[in-house]
Structure 1
């Protein structure tokens, strides 16, 4: 838990606030205590969103929805005040691990526990549905295991039956692998959607792994709609209970009452949560909760120097000691997420991390003349050695002047957040368009919410350089030259020696088709399997330096001495093209390619070439003023292909059709220059200057 900061309230209604449990893209959750020393999780809509009628509607509905559900199986709403500028909801504070945390720490639940979770959650869903609501987000992080049994939390996207989901712009209205097919397809949903999610939760509890998996979020969603659940690790005795829940047709799924009856749960289920390692963990957290809120003997004397906001008997020292001394607590924030009171750690489920707000694409500019910047140039904001800018929805990240990394809004260039102790030259990556991954000077892998800069999980991964990431894992080079994969659950999945020498500096990499493809500083290329880091193939002498590969489908495209198309899995060459001039003394050859819409764009000496996936010409070549190493991949945005040219020329956008005049924005000073694009905005780093250009 973090201490209260500048701008945080000291009191909301009857609750004295003692610290921040967590912050997401929409709200902030505080730990509060009322006059009776009763703890609560108090959720507040972020001030900058209070005037957004769409989000305010969701927040108001969340309170009304949670209050309407009176089942013993949910976290109760204690109070709410929806008047004035600070709308808040206080909910029951639950001490216990979430289901995903329990399975991660102690392994799959046994037969009796799975049956009891099935009975309990099915009964709770029956109560929820009786009020005319559909929860819509039943998943392991939203199930808290307490000494009284499982409790369902988070009614943030619950809706009346057959109602459309109300979400913040840019959010996925379903948790991949747990949302029903009709939710994935954006159709109206009913109670049967919660039954599908219940089946996925029970499969996870019984097997210790999700029923639907994939390398990308889209692959998981595809499997939910078109594939079948993987129940191989579910004990045979439990499959009859889960399998009917996964029916594609909502009408074919059982009712919650039928699931509860079929579960055949044990007669004394309370013993399940009071014994074994899981029972010990629940009891430990309950003791910590009592310690935090314990009132001292004698009357309260008000707020002294050791109190956090003046709550009776709850001192900041006691609160922090209880949290740090093994008393990890879990707050069920009613319509919010579960947050840990344990050194500020974030939820283990990466899908609980809020996405950055999606912004509207900028209108296309004119193809004639010189583009006028959308904003900037911002002078002396970037580090001269910064890697290329990284757009992540509503922010663009770069190495900051003076050290660390900074994020500025893509719409106007105003600073959104800054992290001073991040090591920018180790790189930064986007994880699923939600988190930004960085490393610090000690080699710790650190993650931040892209929209807000709020810290999330960290791993002591000995990071030397970050290579690539997707929604499920980060791939990196360690300080001692090994390849390492860290899952977004914060666990190291594998560590391997690279299949070729990485002498001379950090390699560049691309991820796709289940493989990580590396190009070293000496121009050698290797592919390893993303699942375990095992060698797939090696290709020597492809280039004279590190040129970033580009993966599209099952093919990786490589620049250098040739432009080669190679099978990602096996390394078989599909075709290759010679350059206009072979590489020599830093000139000639093919630059690193970029692939968009099945078309490969790459610089061939002084010409931009556009090719189909079979190597045939897709558009007429276009000449450029000249490019010198280090070559950068072209950036395709709008109707143009943007490249960084040498000397005083600057940044040029060439028509994708191969016909027409290029558009150039002049830059002074020569390299280093880097570019990136998103949402019809081209971001340019020129030395220490950052600007955004429109595209046509």
Structure 2
């Protein structure tokens, strides 16, 4: 609800003209602001009386960093910020949708299908946050805004890095008792499992209008959270088993966010093409529309100064404000943050990419870009599930507007193909995509991407006996030596175009002639849902190496790895690999299965090398080694890389090890100057091996001659997903929030 400005509120903050107050409390004030071009934002400031305290400034900086990590897709986009100003401020997009608690008050308890769609989207949002080793710690209905494109998570005022204990005593309540995790309620470390607990409480609230631990005094709520069983009466039967597990008092017994997402994803028979609006009740849609109209009717008004007061507004450098959305009994910022996206939807228009002028209001180097960067390019909410792809002289990236082709040497945008949902593979020189057809009768086609303009060119097919109208009906696996390999679903054996688990084949087609070379059926059901849940392949020599997570195992404790003959498609061998007890992430994403002409390599509790010819174990590495300080029940070996007869892999908390590919013998090891991220594959150049350190907070370059860290690139705000090297352009490229960045690659 917009309120008049007070007599001592500033006229302007940075380039933003203040229009109204949206909320405030003991920490700061929330304003509605507007740029000269019309863009509306929510502005947070910190009260002057606390802005001089380093602890509060550090927390404000962390809030900005966490909001950047979340990004526009799942949160309120950071438009601009100045955490170093005399009065720190943060400008985010102004989200027109109502918070979840207001939505439930307006519509009543949401149907199960709506709760599932909401939960799956929130899982994706929180996984993005957790990939940067940041936890929210205050997830509750008022911190979730409902928009036409999906929910947005806001208010990162008490978010913090996992394991960071420095900001625990700042004079405010850390969290909301009704939605705290038990470990947070008793002052222990709140990890990503704590956000799982809180998310379950939010979904229960959405499904029945009240949380699992009721209401009342904070002390009573904290006691119930720690010791009482949750009240699950009225929770839909289909949601009860998974939400009950999420509310386990023991964090180790809760499902991972990935498993929760899989269990929540749309019920059988739901269309995979459904938009989020299809799951919203009509009153919620009407409220989004009302807010979209209302925001443009706001005109700045200012209350007069109280009698006898001195109006200091003209002489003050900026005004107060800080976080209060819903920190701890403070006023709620009800509709804080985006208008542009929702406005376009309400008018039936395609969402347009924002111009650089409207997105970047500061001329300074963006916060997500390190000082060593040789170039950076702003995009529209980068898709962190799509690893930048080197192809020819380009780097391909995906964002909310579609597929972009960037010059790998300069970062200049060559072209953009808007609103594509293609799956791509590359052989290094060309990129190939499965482009779904408008009609379900046209069959499966594969296109090549014209690197001059991004247009898809028909290359293979159509194959009328394979489905080809929906993105989940085929999956390009690999392209090598003039052949493309696919997982595709035939009309024979599949129950319908909606039931997407049966009738699957692995097939190969010649990239020059377009002729199908072979197809072989799966021996089990299959439902690819990239990333990290479908087949991942690498074609090497006469073998197509494959891996996939054994998601049908209740405890998710197994991965599978195997090989098919590239000439016939027949299975030559297939093995199961046990995961470590708490490991849910050893499965690989597209392009991450590593093989040379002789062996395929896989990291779990040990580093495994399997002979491609027959699947026999060539060697293992790691048994009995001191892997440093980390949980013994977690996976100690990361995703390996191989180059010139050497396998490189991150190990526990120790750093990077180099192993002879033929023998499995340790050649050397190097400390990385921090905790390695085992989920990011090292990238090997001519002079250096590059590895992710400290979550995704920095990249260390290890000299291949001296085996010492030669330089470190700190990544402000962390990087998303993984990074890649473009040898021809000499750049190492990653995505961070709304930016694609590059440093020299040697």
TM range (shorter): 0.3 to 0.5
TM-score between both structures, scaled by the size of structure 1: 0.42
What is the TM-score normalised by the length of structure 2? 0.39
